[in-house]
Amino acid sequence: MVTFVDRVTLHLRAGRGGNGCVSVKREKFKPLAGPDGGNGGHGGDVVLVADPQTTTLLSYHHSPHRSAGNGGFGMGDHRSGAAGEPVELNVPVGTVVKDAAGETIVDMITPGMRFIAAQGGIGGLGNATLANPKRKAPGFALLGTPGWEGDLNLELKTVADIALVGFPSAGKSSLVAAVSAARPKIADYPFTTLHPNLGVVQAGDVRFTIADVPGLIEGASEGRGLGLEFLRHVERCTALVHVLDCATLEPGRDPLTDLDIILAELAAYPVPEGQVPLIERPQLVALNKVDVPEGKDLADLVRPEIEARGFRVFEISTVSRAGLRELTFALGEVVEKHRAELAAAPAPERIVIRPTGSEKAFTVRVEGGTYGPIFRVLGEKPVRWMQQTDFQNEEAVGYLADRLEKLGVETELYKVGATPGATVVIGEDDAVVFDWHPTMSSPAELMTAPRGTDPRLDLNPRRTTDQRRERYKERMDAKAAARAEDEVERKARHAEEITEQ
C-alpha cells in the first residue's frame, strides 16, 4: 500500500464566471424604469497552500482532479451573482510547482505561502453596468469567461536542516528514531525505508530537523535503484551526515569504500542553479554500530584515515545510544552557525513586478487556406471579449465589433492585406470565424434601435409590418398607374376609329 508520494500531476479546473443579467425595471406607473440587470459572480480559484502539518502528496495521488465552484448568474433589481467557492489544497512545505512542460512556476518553501494555481473566470457585466448616456437601455449582457483548466506537476523536496546519507541498512532510520520522537519503519533488510523520514531534534537551545535519505547505492545519480527518486530531498539541507555501517556482513563492504561511493554520487548529482553543490556542504561522519565488538574495532581502525580527510568523526550506537549526545550537539553547532550567517547576510533585493501595458494588445497572423488566406486575431483582450459575447444577440455582436474597432483590429487587418469578405478568426482553440466587413462609421451607441438589435448586421431578412404596408402601397400605386395609362391608350384608339369612319 502506498503511504508516501512525492510526485503527482494535478488536473485543475477553476470556476467559470457567471453570466450578466438583462433586465428592465418595471413598476406601477413606470413600465420601463431603466435597466437593472446585475453582474455575474467571479469563478472560484484553486489555491495551493504550504502547510507544515502536511508531509506527503498522497491525497492528490488518489484524487488528482480538483475543481472550484462556478460564479452565480446576475439577476434583476441590481442583484449580482455569488462568487464561486474557492478550493484550497494543502501541500507540504518544499513543494515545487511545475507546468506540463516541466518549467518551474513557484517553490512553496515558506510555511503559509499561497499560490493561485488556477484562476477563476471573470463574471459577465449586466445591462445596468453597460448602460451609458448613449446606450440607455442595453438589450444584452456579457457572458462569464471560463476559468483556467490544465495540469500542474507537484514535486516534493524535503525541507530539513540535516540529511542522513549512507548505504541501505546503515542505521539512518534508527538514528532518526534514537534522536527524535519520529518512529520510522525499521527492519534488518535493505531498502526498508521507501520514503524520507523527518524528525525534530533538540540539542541544548538549538532545535533542528533531521531526515534520512534512502536508496543511495552506487550509480544512484545515474538513476540506478531509488537514488534519483530521493537524492532531490538532500537539496535543501544545510549539512550532511554520512552514516557508515561498521558491522556489515556484506562482502566487499567497508566504511571507507562506502564513504567514497556516496561522495562520488553526491558530487555527480546536479543541484539547481544558485544552490551550493552537495559535495561542498558541511559534512560529518557517524560510525554506527560500535556496540558490536567487531564494529568498535573497525571504527577505531578507520577513524584516523577519515579524520585525515578533514571530516569530524563520531562513533555512535543507536542501540546503546553511545555518542548520540555529542553528535546532536555538533549538528546543532553547524545549524546555528548557518542560521547566523543567513541572518547576517544582506537581505536579497525584493523583486517588485508591476504590470505594464504591452505595445500591442493583439496580433494578426495570416494563414494559408484552401479558399484563400485566413486572418487569425490573437491576444488576451480579443479572445476574452469573444468569450463574453452572446452571438445570438445582434446588439451584443455589434458591441463586440465596436470594441475590436476601438482596439485597432480593423486597422491592423487593412495593413496585413485583408479585404471585405475575408475570413477572420479570433483565438486558437474554440475560435470564432467571421466573414469580415469593415464597421460602419456610426457605432451602435449612436443608433436608436430596438433593444437586442443592431441595424448594421441585418441578420433578420424578414420585413416589418410597416415595410410590408409600404411595399403593398407601392404595388397598388403601380397598378393604378398602369390602368390609367391603358385607359388613355384605349380612349386614343377609340378616337382614331371614329375619325376614320
Any known ligand binding at 406?
Answer: no
What is 347-376 written as a DSSP string? Answer: PPPPP-------S-S-EEEEE--TTS-EEE
Q: Is 58 marked as a binding-site residue?
A: no
260 known member of a binding site? no
Say whether 43 counts as a known binding-site residue: no
Gap between the Cα atoms of 282 and 267, Å rounded: 14
Establish whether 418 is an annotated binding residue: no
CA 377/CA 433 separation, integer angstroms? 10
User: What are the strands of the beta sheet with 239-245, ordered from one edge?
Assistant: 197-203, 206-212, 162-165, 239-245, 283-288, 312-315
Looking at residue 24, what DSSP letter applies? B
**Which residues have C-beta within 8 Å of that of residue 224, sequence separation ≥ 6?**
217, 218
CA dist 237 and 160 (Å) reads 5
358 is in an annotated binding site: no
Is 212 marked as a binding-site residue? yes
Give per-residue burial for 153-170: e unless 16+ CB within 10 Å, then b.
bbbbbbbbbbbbbbbbbb
CA gap 315, 324 in Å, rounded: 8
DSSP 8: E
Grid cell, residue 486, equals 391603358
Show the cell assigned to 291. Answer: 556496540
In terms of Cβ atoms closer than 10 Å to its own Cβ (0-12, 13-18, 19+), residue 292 is middle
For residue 278, give the DSSP letter: G
169 marked as binding residue: yes
DSSP per position, 227-258: HHHHHGGGTT-SEEEEEEESS--STT--HHHH
Residue in 388, 429, 464, 497 with CA at minimum distance from that of residue 150? 429
- Whether 480 has a binding-site annotation, put simply, is no
61 appears as a binding residue in the annotation:
no
- The Cα–Cα gap between 400 and 142 comes to 10
Are the CB atoms for 371 and 422 separated by under 8 Å?
no
Residue 141 DSSP code: -
Residue given cell 532531490 in the structure block: 232
- Give the residue among 402, 398, 413 at the shortest CA–CA distance from 458: 398
Whole-number Å distance between alpha carbons of 51 and 110:
9
Find out whether 245 is annotated in a ligand binding site: no
Q: Which residues contact 378 (CB under 8 A, 6 or more apart)?
A: 362, 363, 364, 365, 427, 428
- 356 labelled binding-site residue: no
- DSSP secondary structure code for residue 113 in this structure: -
Q: Is 291 annotated as a binding residue?
A: yes
Q: Is 290 annotated as a binding residue?
A: yes
240 is in an annotated binding site: no
Is position 165 annotated in a ligand binding site? no
Q: Is 435 annotated as a binding residue?
A: no
Annotated binding residue at 72? Answer: no
Beta strands in 257-416, from DSSP E residues, in sequence order: 283-288, 312-315, 363-367, 374-378
- For the annotated binding site for Mg(2+), the residues are 173, 193
- For the annotated binding site for GTP, the residues are 166-173, 191-195, 212-215, 288-291, 317-319
- For the annotated binding site, the residues are 166-173, 191-195, 212-215, 288-291, 317-319
